[in-house]
Amino acid sequence: MKDTYEVVIIGGGLHGLSLAYNMAKKGMTDVLVLEKGYIGSGASGRNIELVRAMFSSTEWMALMKESLRLFKKLSSELNFNIMFTDKGYLILAKTKEQANICREAVPIQNSYGIDSRVIDAAGAKRLVPELNVEGVEGGMYQEDGGTAGHAGLIWGYSKAARELGVEICPFTEVTAIEKAGGNITGVRTSTGAVRTDFVINAAGGHASDICRMAGVAIPNTPHRIEACVTESLKPFMPCNVVSLQTHAAVTQTARGEVLDYVPTPLENNLSYSVRSSPDFMKAAAKALLDLFPKLRFVKIQRQWGGIIDMTPDRSPTLGPVDGLEGFVLDCGWGGYGFMSSPACGSMLSDFVVSGKLHPVVKSFNLSRFAEGRKIRDKCMVVE
């Protein structure tokens, strides 16, 4: 590391790397990315890689529509295969209230240019013949939703950022934030001190720890979430499937494995631990069999955990912090950090490079909590 950098990004996951790449692409190359583990060692390398723009709030729609647009061209732009596949994305509703959420959301999504449509049980069965549609009241389907590879995205961003001049230091832990007179002046790390006027907190599940170092109070808390994968099976899932009833998210990989995520009560997972739990496996098996009863004899190959950063309204905290010049937030993404990383990196980098605050970034600012303005999207599958 040098002694001084124009910008220091704390967190070498997808959001930190996307920010670094986008800033460098716009001409700001004197950037340092600090990661206390290996690159992508947090939730960026532990998710199930789903991508969609179907949400119920206009803030999330605008953000994720842009992310999806960028996902489609990133392999070419980064010169690295991120394995994006627009295989389709199906969201199922099992109550009339959930079905109404979908029916009301789709016209707004369409007005934003999102390729979605309302779907009924018969339509869902035609899309995924093996799907159990008993009790399904409706849902919605996005033609160009899909998946991408988190490893490809991590290494694609890091390779492209380095080629543009960004320095990335793994296994370098931030131990203190330096400030004076309401201004950021530097950071201290496990390998030395660095002077800077600009620090971006993209530390994922440890974002609240970084904020405490800076004396900034945020309502974010760390939570463990888990996922599992089955043995390889003959392809039977042509698209991703999500249930608003069980909050399960399921996809089948190119190798035939079935990836399954389902949340367990967050109050039981207020933790930095990534240990696997039997409670998750019970919930995951139940939710998976609710969607696909034919999987009852299939073997689970492995399960794993990761740490996410959660806000009270399950939406991120983005942008500058009032009262501390040069301290910027990119955290609180819950379970949606993977699919949001391209758009957030592009939008938030505009503020760092030119001082222009994108309207989407502004809508997710930390100040909304003091203003009593929450953004709770009804199409999320994080409890």
Q: How many other CB atoms sit within 10 Å of the CB of residue 61?
A: 24
Segment holding 180, helix H or strand E: strand 174-180
DSSP character string of 146-167 = EE--HHHHHHHHHHHHHHTT-E
HSE on the CB side for 137, CA within 13 Å? Answer: 13
Distance between CA 166 and CA 159 in Å, rounded?
10
- The answer to whether the CB of 123 falls within 8 A of the CB of 133 is no
Distance between CA 269 and CA 253 in Å, rounded?
27
Structure tokens at 202: 């993209």
What does the pLDDT read at residue 266? 58
Distance between CA 209 and CA 207 in Å, rounded?
5
Q: Rg (Cα) of the chain, in Å, rounded?
A: 20
Q: Do strands 199-201 and 7-10 pair parallel, antiparallel, or not at all (unpaired)? A: parallel
Query: Across 267-333, where does the E strand assignment appear?
Result: 300-310, 317-320, 327-331
Distance between CA 309 and CA 246 in Å, rounded?
21
Residues 6+ apart with CB under 8 A from 59: 315, 360, 363, 364, 375, 377
Structure tokens at 187: 């950071």
Distance between CA 22 and CA 345 in Å, rounded?
6
CA dist 298 → 19, 199, 220, 258, 292 (Å): 40, 47, 37, 10, 11
Eight-state DSSP code of residue 205:
G
What does the pLDDT read at residue 272? 80
347 phi/psi in degrees, rounded to 5: -70, -45
What does the pLDDT read at residue 269? 61
Eight-state DSSP code of residue 325:
B
HSE on the CB side for 281, CA within 13 Å? Answer: 12
What does the pLDDT read at residue 263? 84
Domains in the chain, CATH or no CATH each: 7-46+151-220+313-370 (3.50.50.60), 85-144+221-310 (3.30.9.10)
Beta bridge partners of 85: 147
Residues 6+ apart with CB under 8 A from 245: 92, 93, 94, 95, 98, 290
What does the pLDDT read at residue 268? 58
Spell out the per-residue pLDDT of the chain, length 383, in tens: 999 999 999 999 999 999 999 999 999 999 999 999 999 999 999 999 999 999 999 999 999 999 999 999 999 999 999 999 999 999 999 999 999 999 999 999 999 999 999 999 999 999 999 999 999 999 999 999 999 999 999 999 999 999 999 999 999 999 999 999 999 999 999 999 999 999 999 999 999 999 999 999 999 999 888 999 999 999 999 999 999 999 999 999 999 999 999 887 656 566 788 888 888 999 999 999 999 999 999 999 999 999 999 999 999 999 999 999 999 999 999 989 999 999 999 999 999 999 999 999 999 999 999 999 999 999 998 76
Q: Which one, of 91, 76, 77, 70, lies nearest residue 143 by Cα?
A: 91
Distance between CA 361 and CA 19 in Å, rounded?
13
SS3 content of the chain, % helix, strand, coil (to 5): 35, 25, 40
Report helix, strand or coil for 216: coil
DSSP character string of 138-151 = EEEEETT-EE--HH
Residues 6+ apart with CB under 8 A from 97: none
Q: How many other CB atoms sit within 10 Å of the CB of residue 285?
A: 17
Distance between CA 349 and CA 230 in Å, rounded?
38
